[in-house]
A = this chain, B = another copy of it.
Amino acid sequence: MRGNVDLSKQINQWLLENKHDGIKLLQRLVQAGSTQGNEAKAQTIILNTLTDMGLDIDLWEPNGEELQKNPYFASSRSEFMGSPNIVGILRGKGEGRSIILNGHIDVVPAGDMEQWNIDPYSGMIKDGNMYGRGVTDMKGGNVALLMAMRALQALNINLKGDVIFESVIEEESGGAGTLASILRGYTADAALIPEPTNMKIFPKQQGSMWFRLHVKGQSAHGGTRYEGVSAIEKSMVVVDHILKLEKRRNERITDPLYKKIPIPIPINIGKIEGGDWPSSVPDLVKVEGRMGVSPEETMEDAKAEMESWMKKIGETDSWFTEHPVRLEWFGARWLPGAIEVEHPLVQSLSKNYQTVLNQIPTIEASPWGTDGGLLTKVGETPSIVFGPGVTEKAHFPNEYIVLDRVFEAAEIIALTLVDWCGVYDEGSL
């Protein structure tokens, strides 16, 4: 049997020789776009790649009706026609540990186009970086998974355990794609999700959920605006109140994995909309946001805390005593998840990181929810998050990835698959 260092060299060599192929695949995935509802084109590219690799393929459109019956379902839509999930299985020879390699294909919208210096769907390469919406979150990670599997295939390394590659929809909207995969029977002894962690290892994943606040005002003609009450001014009080809740909640976080994170479990206000005429005092503003949930609390605890906090806003401004803010939970939701730092998958990943990069990895808690929460809680599949993308560029204009990181991640992941799944060696004994 080949030694680990020897194997590392061979994998590294293969990845070097096939780097152009990997970059080309990533560029095509970026160019295919794949915002919610528009995933089919990118999934077709994945399908072709998995077919070329000779994997056992399962492609299906999640059944919205069935999903809605599941208590863990959360999405802003209930119909997934034209938005398929794909699973490709590299069958093991038996008796090894199985692993799910999970990556989402959906991307968030590009946002304000004025802030992009390039077409967000160009996949332009400059100075070793590739640019575009989704390149970091998380198509670069998905390509790292595929290149790791292809390297093992090319080097005739037969694993004992199954490697289940999943290209799922809906992660950005609450994980309906991964939930559908779990309900279809895809679970394993562990899972690895290459979300953009800046090559950090995240054994803990923050959960999160979306909320909507309805802030009331009282309309009047703008010329006599003192006769009305501006829902826009009142929404400013509400945003302030939410920021205070965020502060309280974060002061409680003592987990050392969160030590270096400025705001461990942020509450993000992402959308605002209100009023319908410049010359009228606005009487309704809707605010939408995302509440971070720590791995140490339940979604229900977090919800209850926000609900009771919003009831207290009348103490700050008596307007709200008569006109309470309506709080609504809607759309996406990501369960928090955690595995022990001592878990063998964390240990293997950490060791291989050192082999490939010759330095000690950073182990932290994730600043966002991932599909790892669903895999852990619903699929009983302990999950770890580790990927090549640039954390601070996720959901950002001019999103990019450092291409070298994609192939370093691929090498670390390939070695970890060998450790985890075990190698079947006919000639050995």
**B-contacting residues of A (Cβ < 8 Å)?**
108-109, 111-112, 114-115, 137, 172, 206, 208, 210-211, 216, 218-228, 230, 232-233, 235-236, 239, 262-263, 266, 268-285, 287-290, 292, 331-332, 366-369, 391-392, 394-397
B271 touches A274 (CB 8 A): yes
Decide yes or no: A233 and B239 within 8 Å by CB, A278-B271, A282-B271 being known contacts: yes
How many copies of this chain does one complex carry? Answer: 2
Residue from B270, B274, B391 within 8 A of A224 (CB atoms)? B391
Set of chain B residues within 8 Å of A111, measured between Cβ atoms: 219, 276-277, 280, 283-284
Besides A224-B392, A281-B395, 6 other CB < 8 A contacts?
A: A172-B277, A172-B279, A218-B397, A221-B394, A222-B289, A223-B268
Decide yes or no: A270 and B278 within 8 Å by CB, A111-B219, A208-B222, A368-B222 being known contacts: yes
A270 touches B263 (CB 8 A): no
Task: Compute how far the CA of A224 lies from the CA of B258 in the bound complex, rounded to whole angstroms.
Answer: 12
Decide yes or no: A395 and B220 within 8 Å by CB, A269-B230, A270-B277, A283-B112 being known contacts: yes
**Chain B, residue nearest A243 (CB):** B233
CB distance from A408 to the nearest CB of B (A): 22
Residue from B109, B277, B394 within 8 A of A395 (CB atoms)? B277
B219 touches A395 (CB 8 A): yes
**Chain B, residue nearest A266 (CB):** B225
CB distance from A235 to the nearest CB of B (A): 8
Set of chain B residues within 8 Å of A283, measured between Cβ atoms: 111-112, 115, 397
Task: Compute how far the CA of A332 lies from the CA of B279 in the bound complex, rounded to whole angstroms.
Answer: 9
16 A-B pairs, CB-CB below 8 angstroms? A108-B277, A111-B283, A219-B397, A222-B266, A222-B290, A222-B292, A223-B266, A223-B366, A225-B268, A226-B266, A270-B279, A271-B277, A272-B274, A273-B274, A278-B288, A279-B290
Task: Compute how far the CA of A225 lies from the CA of B266 in the bound complex, rounded to whole angstroms.
Answer: 7
B278 touches A210 (CB 8 A): yes
B278 touches A367 (CB 8 A): no
Set of chain B residues within 8 Å of A396, measured between Cβ atoms: 218-221, 227-228
Task: Compute how far the CA of A223 lies from the CA of B208 in the bound complex, rounded to whole angstroms.
Answer: 9
Set of chain B residues within 8 Å of A232, measured between Cβ atoms: 239, 269, 272, 287
Task: Compute how far the CA of A221 lies from the CA of B368 in the bound complex, rounded to whole angstroms.
Answer: 8
Set of chain B residues within 8 Å of A227, measured between Cβ atoms: 391-392, 396
B220 touches A392 (CB 8 A): yes
Decide yes or no: A222 and B278 within 8 Å by CB, A112-B284, A239-B233, A283-B397 being known contacts: no
The CB with the most chain B CB atoms within 10 A, among A277, A285, A289, is that of A277
Set of chain B residues within 8 Å of A392, measured between Cβ atoms: 220-221, 224, 227
Set of chain B residues within 8 Å of A223, measured between Cβ atoms: 206, 208, 266, 268, 290, 292, 366-369
CB distance from A322 to the nearest CB of B (A): 13
